[in-house]
A and B are shown apart, each in its own frame.
Chain A
Amino acid sequence: MNALPLAFGAPYLLAGLLVLPVIWWLLRVTPPRPVLEIFPPLKILAQLKQKEETPNKSPWWMTLLRLLLAAFIILALSEPVWNPRLETMSGKEPVAIVLDNGWSSNEEWTARKETAERLISDTQSDGALIYIVGTAEKANTDIGPFDANTALERLRALTVRPIPVDRSQAFARLKAVLADTKGTRLAYLNDGVDEPRAAEAIKSLEGSGIASMIWYQPSIASLVAIRQATNNANGLTVRIVRSSIDTSRNVVTVGAFDEKGRRIADTGIAFNAGETAAEGVIAAPYELRNDFHSLRIDGTAQAGATYLIDDNNKRRRVALLSGSEADLSQPLLSPLYYISRALEPFADLLRPRNSELIRAVPELLEQKPSVIIMADIGKLPAETEQTLSDWVNKGGTLIRFAGPRLAGGSEEDPLLPVRLRKGERSLGGALSWKEAQPVASFPSNGPFAGLPTPQDVTVSRQVLADPSSDLFEKSWANLADGTPLVTGETRGRGQLVLFHVTPEATWSNLPISGSFVDMLHRIVSLSSNAGTIAQDSGANSARALPPYLTLNGDGALMPPNQDTKPLITSGSNLSVTFENPPGFYGVEDAMTALNLFKPDSEINPLARPELNFPVTTARYAVDESIPLRGPLFALAAALLALDALAIIWLGGHLRRRLRTTAAASLAILLLPALIAFAPSPAQAQQNDSKPGDQAILDAINVTHLAYVITGDGPTDDISKAGLLGLSKALADSTALEPGDPIGVDPARDELAVYPLIYWPVDADANMPSSEAIAKINAYMQQGGTVLFDTRDQDAAAFNLDNSTTPSTQRLRDILSGLNIPPLEPVPGDHVLTKTFYILQDFPGRYRGSPLWVQASLNEDRRSDRPVRAGDGVSPIIITGNDFAGAWAIDANGAPLLPTIPNDPVQRVHAFRTGINIVMYMLTGNYKSDQVHVPDLLLRLGN
């Protein structure tokens, strides 16, 4: 032992200090540089005799400075280490070495092992017996006594376990072994982290024959752990905790890793001063978030800083589909509004970018939603239906909501859990004897079991299920009168759910109640993959999950070792033990994460208890060794800088000129940077035009009427001539001056730029492709209008056997693929009768076929209203009167085809009909509002 706790790595280098006197002598004889002085009377000076020939000495302080510099460098090269170690273990009495090898020991494990090794080597000469105890070891591990060599082997075999230490068990065993020995000296190398039974366990050592104790306690200032990670709408919220005495570690970075250990996201979390807990959000897209497998705090190597994430933590993706156009100006009437408000907090919502169902559904399915919600979609294209059906069978959950379209849809819809009756039931209305119905308490066998019965929810309209034997089992929620409100069915591995009301508040107030949120939450959480414990947690059966991957002491995932046992999931009380270290349990597709930290865990420092035998506090040797090499070199460097400054000063080189040149050179250095950052001339605008842009621009610069090219030459010619004639008539009579009519192919062309598409139905032409139907469907949903013309009134009028004409049949075929609202013939007070001309009859070449439009919403007719109020424009108009034939004109403006009967007045009326239709398209319900203007003016006048 040295008198000073100072050791040298290369002591022979200290001999270099002998050189110092030589350096001193050398420094004394070297004169400093003379000061240069301009002196005009030099000739006079030259007459003086030189008196003193020896040069001036360096100032004494400069000599000292340089000697110190040399001394520091020599000292630094000899690698001094400041290392106090005072406690030894020499003596013949037995020695017990207890090591904490729990999760928090890992980062300083080498130092602890070295300390223990030194203690063992201290005892070697005296041959004392040694006990080695790890506090995180299996209960039946052999703890000694050993001789020094075996003890060293035992010590080296000890590893850090990613589990909390069990001091009471370890000390109990030690006490049992030491029962009949006296004077044992105990060295407790603990990890400094408190646990609930620590004080009690250490206290129990009193009276066990232990004579003294050396207490090694490390600083736990750098310990930090993740205790919870939860998914929410913005990202993954991570809660971390640090040791309560910590002041240094204020900011940590948490990285998220995927299954293969790749780092895919991270976030920085800062502890507030004086707080031991902090939380932060890893903001990442949910696709990325679902790939999170584990979280780890950067710069740590212990199990507490690793947090494992299993499938239960993943957010569900819910796709939303709606049958009606999304009206952004009236969000409360949008069918998906309440659904998205209800689901946003706990699910990620997907909306299709494409409005055509045939494309939207595959697009959504590509994003792998757990749930698809369809609001009032009555008719699905056959392909889509098949796709969805396959998806449900593979485990998807399809939730549908009723509505006018569904009510009017076909009875045989395979994507419904129950058969529906045609039409809807209205309760509490003027024509109904029944009151609006409240909701009965949820059946105990359904998924809503346990939810509180909604008290304030009433249903005034619903679609009715056809009674069947299994209806009761399929009913998840009922009205007070027993009719089902929500029905569900398991289809394959997936589920079909139908809400018998609309998703907005028109049919019932369920969507604006809290129960709606709970119900959707239940269904969405049910949609998780089979095999996770979320579905099994309700059942009381305990399951044994085999270990899949477990953490090691470094916090890395490893295959389980032979000590690891299956995890028994009885209830939620999963604890980390020696047999169940933290890790993933289960099988690859359905893993359960067992984490070291619980959401309320803390890291507290271990307090040294008062014991009835002497306790010495010591420090881990390596903890305290301070290498002095670096500071000494730094000191030498500082002296060197001082010396350089002194030389410059003595030489008289510190002039103001230096400063000015420095400023000038700085300016020169900065100049290129300034030039580089100067704003560059405006860059040429990027050309991002795409092919076809010009056609679209042409189509929207001027309003054009459009017709569908059927492929039948004469028909298309007539369509074109007819729309040309109508355009001319419009230009003559109205403010609208349409451009030339344009023929479109619904399968290829962009339809959204045309307000009205005229579709002459031709039985001889090819049936439009499903793609074309899908596009027409989307066009109608987005606010466009299609005018179907079967041109068969002449045939229909003489059709005595009431059979349909080929054109009408073809029209039905086309419409069967379209998602169309209920229709009605134009009522006498429809706005179409008065948009430009007052009309009650809509003739074309023929007269007599009714004009079909979308049925108005409120059917209660009021005689005092001059016109029906209504929102939007009918997306579909159907006639059989061959409008285009009546409108068609040749190049001279003369009509091409005679009207039947040949009556000029009928042609005039046909044009008026066309003008009214176009005005209706372009102005919407403006005209129906206009009729109120006299009343409004009257009111204003009053």
Chain B
Amino acid sequence: MAAIGAQVQKTGTGDALARARQRAALLPDLLVEARRILNTVNTGWHGRRKSGVGESFWQFRPYTEGEAISRIDWRRSARDDRTYIRDQEWEAAHTVWLWADPSPSMLFKSEQAQASKESRALVMILALAELLSRSGERIGFPGVTDPTSARNGAERLATSLAHAGNLSAKPDLSRIKRFSEVVLVSDFLDPVDETIATLEKLAHSGARAHLIEVYDPAEEDFPYRRRTEFVDPETGSSLTFGRAEDYADGYRRLFFARRAALSDFCKRIGWSYTTNRTDRLASEALVSVHMNMTANVGYQGGAS
């Protein structure tokens, strides 16, 4: 009887980029909610859905006393009795850090999965990079590239990742400043306490994070039966169960408990937590993350 899961080769970034482009094409341009307008100095390419300094038309609003007469739009005002002022939209660039878990546990793919977790994570990172750089955001990968704004940000990121060599299993979050957005894609299989400790540091820096948990169907469903020896791809330690099916329920309980803990933590500090099963489409998670990034979630002030 063949094993259900297998360790796979690391995905080439070129291949992942092509697949990421496909995924990104399914989404509209990502408009990141810029919550910290005042503190962001760089003038970006796209409006922030706020009136301010910019080139694009944003709205007409009634003239109020004291405003400069030069701002009155006479053409619009001539249509009726009121006087209107033409507002331009605020346009600014945002810094988004993207990070995909490079640890060996991600290189896992079971029979039911379409792709390995690592491959899926990379695709999602590159798809986001494509979307974000298309809308003028500055994107960076902690430990690999500094945030830069470029039309071909996804290619740059792919190239940098291809040459990056071995990446550390934990992201280097020290350079992340306030008001940045962070997208973390991982399986978050480390003990919950360790993960939350790391995230709390990030929360203290004032950045806003979006966590995407990528997991294999075998990890959730636990389809193993009979006598099975389980091996950890990271540590190499193994565990033998005489009747694996007897352990499925207990395992599943622990698995979901971990997810619930992480999700609760994120919800509490205003971050988003998205899951993606590797036998489902990557686009589903992308749409969800996209919405979370653009939505003006309730929390406005960063970590307290």
Q: Tell me whether A and B are bound partners.
A: yes
**Residue ranges of A at the interface with B (Cβ–Cβ < 8 Å):** 31-48, 50-56, 649-650, 652, 654-655
Contact of A38 among B5, B187, B240, B242 (CB under 8 A): B5
> Are the CB atoms of A45 and B247 closer together than 8 Å?
yes
Q: In the complex, what residues of A have CB within 8 A of residue B246's CB?
A: 51-52
Residues of B223-238 contacting chain A, CB below 8 A: 224, 226-235, 237-238
**What's the Cα separation between A52 and B190 when bound, in Å?**
26
> Are the CB atoms of B254 and A44 closer together than 8 Å?
yes
Q: In the complex, what residues of B have CB within 8 A of residue A54's CB?
A: 242
Q: In the complex, what residues of B have CB within 8 A of residue A650's CB?
A: 1
Given contacts A37-B5, A42-B237, A52-B243, 16 further A-B pairs with CB under 8 A are: A34-B228, A34-B229, A34-B240, A35-B229, A37-B3, A37-B229, A39-B218, A39-B219, A40-B216, A40-B219, A40-B233, A42-B232, A42-B239, A44-B258, A45-B251, A654-B2
> Are the CB atoms of B227 and A31 closer together than 8 Å?
yes
Q: In the complex, what residues of A have CB within 8 A of residue B105's CB?
A: 40
**What's the Cα separation between A43 and B194 when bound, in Å?**
13
A49 to chain B: closest residue by CB: B250
> Are the CB atoms of A47 and B234 closer together than 8 Å?
no
> Are the CB atoms of B227 and A40 closer together than 8 Å?
no
Contact of B227 among A46, A50, A56, A649 (CB under 8 A): A56
From known contacts A36-B3, A48-B254, A52-B243, infer whether A43 and B227 are also in contact, taking CB-CB under 8 Å: no
A-B contact pairs, 26 of them (CB 8 A): A36-B3, A37-B229, A37-B230, A38-B5, A38-B7, A39-B5, A40-B105, A40-B106, A40-B108, A40-B117, A40-B189, A40-B232, A40-B233, A40-B234, A42-B239, A43-B190, A44-B258, A45-B230, A48-B250, A48-B254, A52-B246, A54-B242, A55-B242, A56-B226, A56-B242, A649-B1
Interface range, B side: 35 or more
> Are the CB atoms of B108 and A38 closer together than 8 Å?
yes
**What's the Cα separation between A348 and B28 when bound, in Å?**
103
Q: In the complex, what residues of A have CB within 8 A of residue B187's CB?
A: 40-41
Contact of A39 among B1, B226, B232, B243 (CB under 8 A): B232
Q: From residue B250, how far is it (CB to closest CB) to chain A in Å?
A: 5
Q: In the complex, what residues of B have CB within 8 A of residue A43's CB?
A: 189-191, 232
Residue B74 at the A interface, CB < 8 A? Answer: no
> Are the CB atoms of A37 and B231 closer together than 8 Å?
yes
Q: From residue A47, how far is it (CB to closest CB) to chain B in Å?
A: 6
Q: From residue B242, how far is it (CB to closest CB) to chain A in Å?
A: 5
**What's the Cα separation between A47 and B252 when bound, in Å?**
12
> Are the CB atoms of A55 and B3 closer together than 8 Å?
no
Q: In the complex, what residues of A have CB within 8 A of residue B247's CB?
A: 45, 48, 51
**What's the Cα separation between A35 and B191 when bound, in Å?**
26
From known contacts A37-B3, A38-B5, A38-B108, infer whether A45 and B239 are also in contact, taking CB-CB under 8 Å: yes
**What's the Cα separation between A55 and B234 when bound, in Å?**
27
Q: In the complex, what residues of A have CB within 8 A of residue B2's CB?
A: 652, 654-655
Q: In the complex, what residues of A have CB within 8 A of residue B162's CB?
A: none
**What's the Cα separation between A52 and B242 when bound, in Å?**
7
Q: Which 9 A-B pairs have the closest CB atoms?
A: A40-B105, A42-B232, A39-B230, A34-B229, A56-B227, A34-B227, A48-B250, A44-B254, A37-B3
Q: In the complex, what residues of A have CB within 8 A of residue B235's CB?
A: 42
Return the CB mask of B88-131 against A: 1 if under 8 Å, else 0: 00000000000000000110100000000100000000000000
> Are the CB atoms of B230 and A42 closer together than 8 Å?
yes
**What's the Cα separation between A44 and B222 when bound, in Å?**
12
Q: From residue A33, how far is it (CB to closest CB) to chain B in Å?
A: 8
**What's the Cα separation between A42 and B218 when bound, in Å?**
12
**Residue ranges of B at the interface with A (Cβ–Cβ < 8 Å):** 1-7, 105-106, 108, 117, 187, 189-191, 216, 218-219, 224, 226-235, 237-243, 246-247, 250-251, 254-255, 258
Q: In the complex, what residues of A have CB within 8 A of residue B228's CB?
A: 34-37
Contact of B231 among A36, A50, A649 (CB under 8 A): A36
Q: From residue A53, how far is it (CB to closest CB) to chain B in Å?
A: 7
Q: In the complex, what residues of B have CB within 8 A of residue A40's CB?
A: 105-106, 108, 117, 187, 189, 216, 219, 232-234
Contact of A44 among B4, B227, B251 (CB under 8 A): B251
Q: In the complex, what residues of B have CB within 8 A of residue A39's CB?
A: 5, 218-219, 230-232
Q: In the complex, what residues of B have CB within 8 A of residue A655's CB?
A: 2
**What's the Cα separation between A42 and B189 when bound, in Å?**
9
A31 to chain B: closest residue by CB: B227
Q: In the complex, what residues of B have CB within 8 A of residue A52's CB?
A: 241-243, 246
**What's the Cα separation between A46 and B190 when bound, in Å?**
12
> Are the CB atoms of B234 and A652 closer together than 8 Å?
no
Q: From residue A650, how far is it (CB to closest CB) to chain B in Å?
A: 7
A48 to chain B: closest residue by CB: B250
**What's the Cα separation between A41 and B234 when bound, in Å?**
10
Q: From residue B87, how far is it (CB to closest CB) to chain A in Å?
A: 52
From known contacts A40-B219, A48-B251, A52-B243, infer whether A35 and B231 are also in contact, taking CB-CB under 8 Å: no
From known contacts A31-B227, A45-B239, A56-B242, infer whether A38 and B258 are also in contact, taking CB-CB under 8 Å: no
Q: In the complex, what residues of B have CB within 8 A of residue A47's CB?
A: 254
Q: In the complex, what residues of A have CB within 8 A of residue B7's CB?
A: 38
**What's the Cα separation between A50 and B230 when bound, in Å?**
13
Q: From residue B238, how far is it (CB to closest CB) to chain A in Å?
A: 8
Q: From residue B175, how far is it (CB to closest CB) to chain A in Å?
A: 29
A53 to chain B: closest residue by CB: B242
Q: In the complex, what residues of B have CB within 8 A of residue A31's CB?
A: 227, 242
> Are the CB atoms of A44 and B189 closer together than 8 Å?
yes
> Are the CB atoms of A35 and B189 closer together than 8 Å?
no
> Are the CB atoms of A46 and B1 closer together than 8 Å?
no
Q: In the complex, what residues of A have CB within 8 A of residue B189's CB?
A: 40-41, 43-44
From known contacts A48-B251, A51-B247, infer whether A35 and B3 are also in contact, taking CB-CB under 8 Å: yes
**What's the Cα separation between A37 and B117 when bound, in Å?**
17
**What's the Cα separation between A724 and B231 when bound, in Å?**
108
**What's the Cα separation between A43 and B233 when bound, in Å?**
11
Q: In the complex, what residues of B have CB within 8 A of residue A56's CB?
A: 226-227, 242-243
Q: From residue B73, how far is it (CB to closest CB) to chain A in Å?
A: 60
**What's the Cα separation between A53 and B242 when bound, in Å?**
7
Q: From residue A46, how far is it (CB to closest CB) to chain B in Å?
A: 6
Q: From residue A44, how far is it (CB to closest CB) to chain B in Å?
A: 5
B234 to chain A: closest residue by CB: A40
**What's the Cα separation between A56 and B226 when bound, in Å?**
7
**What's the Cα separation between A31 and B246 when bound, in Å?**
17
Q: In the complex, what residues of B have CB within 8 A of residue A654's CB?
A: 2
**What's the Cα separation between A599 and B4 when bound, in Å?**
77
**What's the Cα separation between A31 and B240 when bound, in Å?**
13
Q: In the complex, what residues of A have CB within 8 A of residue B5's CB?
A: 37-39
A54 to chain B: closest residue by CB: B242
B109 to chain A: closest residue by CB: A38
**What's the Cα separation between A51 and B243 when bound, in Å?**
9
**What's the Cα separation between A47 and B258 when bound, in Å?**
12
Q: In the complex, what residues of A have CB within 8 A of residue B258's CB?
A: 44
> Are the CB atoms of A35 and B227 closer together than 8 Å?
yes
> Are the CB atoms of B255 and A37 closer together than 8 Å?
no
B246 to chain A: closest residue by CB: A51
**What's the Cα separation between A35 and B241 when bound, in Å?**
10
Q: In the complex, what residues of B have CB within 8 A of residue A53's CB?
A: 242
Interface centre among A34, A39, A45, A54 (most CB of B within 10 A): A39
A649 to chain B: closest residue by CB: B1
Q: From residue A723, how far is it (CB to closest CB) to chain B in Å?
A: 94
B5 to chain A: closest residue by CB: A38
From known contacts A652-B1, A652-B3, infer whether A32 and B227 are also in contact, taking CB-CB under 8 Å: yes
> Are the CB atoms of B1 and A35 closer together than 8 Å?
yes
> Are the CB atoms of B231 and A38 closer together than 8 Å?
yes
Q: From residue A58, how far is it (CB to closest CB) to chain B in Å?
A: 11
> Are the CB atoms of A38 and B229 closer together than 8 Å?
no
**What's the Cα separation between A32 and B228 when bound, in Å?**
10
Q: In the complex, what residues of B have CB within 8 A of residue A46's CB?
A: 239
Q: From residue B9, how far is it (CB to closest CB) to chain A in Å?
A: 14
B215 to chain A: closest residue by CB: A41
Q: From residue B122, how far is it (CB to closest CB) to chain A in Å?
A: 17
Q: In the complex, what residues of B have CB within 8 A of residue A51's CB?
A: 246-247
**What's the Cα separation between A44 and B192 when bound, in Å?**
10
Q: In the complex, what residues of A have CB within 8 A of residue B238's CB?
A: 42
**What's the Cα separation between A53 and B4 when bound, in Å?**
23
